[in-house]
A and B are shown apart, each in its own frame.
Chain A
């Protein structure tokens, strides 16, 4: 019966040490490749080099009764998987006059799925506050011929459950309400 014990011990050693020894033997020329995934660098590189592209399309649409401005964008998903935009929100403040809140911006129809390697249109709606509307209509502060510039502050984008917040205000031009 010692033979059975010996055989079982040999099997034990073979099944535990064998595969690891085989791995070491196969990768003996470059043991680092045994531990480091070969495609990790490519994946990280493609993630950092390919970024979603956002383009503004057409002119903003103004709805004076509802005090809203709608912006049309085209977003391109460069990745090989569907991207889900769960949320996009921002405060809109006057770029020329500190502390004046124009309104809030949000993406319409969220959650929005942008198919892998494709482009999709999305609308961002900015709603003026009463204070913002009267501020913009004040011709002394914003003469009729001048352009109105705003900052998007507290910009939050939630994609795939990941929330990205931009601390730096993003400037943009908006039409008069």
Chain B
């Protein structure tokens, strides 16, 4: 195998996607987290990622079926992307490789864009309907007044390291696409002549 012909960006991108998938699913690590209240069992918590969605209210898990199907689509998309880009990275000059790269490199970026877009949309919509604004990242205090009782709920939202790793994975996949042009322009070394053939010429 010609090491110069390996697309290292693609290889790193594929590995990064697999790490993101493993941590998002195996360890149920979210990309974005919302916590209302404090302590081991906060009032409400949302652990959100394109691969896993967990919403709990007073310690009770609330399942939204639609999120399960959307998560499944993202899991399949990212796993297929990782497999395709890993195969491509070792064989970038094969006839089918460009198709594999085209299939794989955009998926992490699209997943990211849809995730961030949905997050912004949901927090903006929530701000319209709730009496307080919900930051995409940061802290706020929700104040509710009703019948002589006022309730203040501290809300914290944050992106986790898995989200930043997903950005790195998407960037590596795009870099793999750019680097592909350089790889195909590297001349393939001619195969060494067989000794028998060499002796017959003398």
Contacts and interface: CB of A to CB of B under 8 A. Distances in A.
Contacts of A35: 64-66
A105 B23 CA distance: 48
Contacts of A165: 149-152
A16 interface: yes
B149 A167 contact: yes
Interface in B137-180: 148-154
B123 interface: no
Interface in B11-37: 36-37
A11 B62 CA distance: 31
Nearest to B145: A167
B99 A162 contact: no
Contact of B69 (A22, A86, A162): A22
Given A163-B151, A165-B149, A165-B150, A43 B66 contact: no
Contact of A161 (B62, B76, B100, B154): B154
Report the contact-size class of chain A (Cβ under 8 Å from the partner): 35 or more
A15 B65 contact: no
Contacts of A163: 151-152
A164 B149 contact: yes
Interface in B30-73: 36-43, 55, 57-60, 62-66, 68-70, 72-73
A160 B99 contact: no
Contacts, number: 119
A118 interface: no
A168 B148 contact: yes
Contacts of B154: 161-162
A82 B99 contact: no
A161 B37 contact: yes
A1 B62 contact: no
Interface string A4-43: 1100110110011111101100010000011111111001
Contacts of A80: 58-60
A106 B118 CA distance: 44
Interface in A60-116: 79-82, 84, 86, 116
A49 to B, nearest CB: 13
Given A15-B73, A23-B69, A37 B64 contact: yes
A5 B69 contact: no
Contacts of B84: 8
Contact of A79 (B36, B59, B150): B59
Contact of A23 (B37, B65, B76, B77): B65
A34 B66 contact: yes
Interface in A143-167: 160-167
Nearest to B76: A15
B95 interface: yes
B79 to A, nearest CB: 9
19 contacts: A8-B84, A8-B102, A11-B80, A12-B103, A15-B73, A19-B73, A20-B69, A20-B70, A20-B73, A23-B65, A34-B69, A36-B64, A43-B57, A44-B57, A82-B41, A164-B151, A165-B150, A166-B149, A167-B149
Given A16-B77, A19-B73, 6 more contacts: A33-B65, A38-B65, A43-B60, A79-B58, A162-B37, A162-B154
